[in-house]
Amino acid sequence: MEKMDVSGYAAMLGLFAEMILDDAVRKHKTQTLYREIDDALARGDEATFLNLTRELKMLQA
């Protein structure tokens, strides 16, 4: 049986973990922005609304 390249496997696992973490952070930030956008709308705060929607668009690009 061949030996498995442990260093390559560890690098792949590390990359996979980083991808999962990045996705979780992006989802959390998106949810937070949606909540803050809703709050800005409820308050009638147009400037905050525009800033937050701009930030959300950049996050989703």
In this predicted model, what pLDDT tens digit does every residue of 11-25 receive, in sequence order? 899 999 999 999 999
Percentage of residues in the chain with pLDDT exceeding 70?
A: 92
Q: Is pLDDT at 1 greater than 80 in this prediction?
A: no
Q: Is pLDDT at 44 greater than 60 in this prediction?
A: yes
Q: Are 49 and 41 in contact (CB under 8 A)?
A: yes
Q: Are 48 and 29 in contact (CB under 8 A)?
A: no
The answer to whether the predicted template modeling score (pTM) of the entire model surpasses 0.85 is no
Question: Average pLDDT over the chain, rounded to whole?
Answer: 93
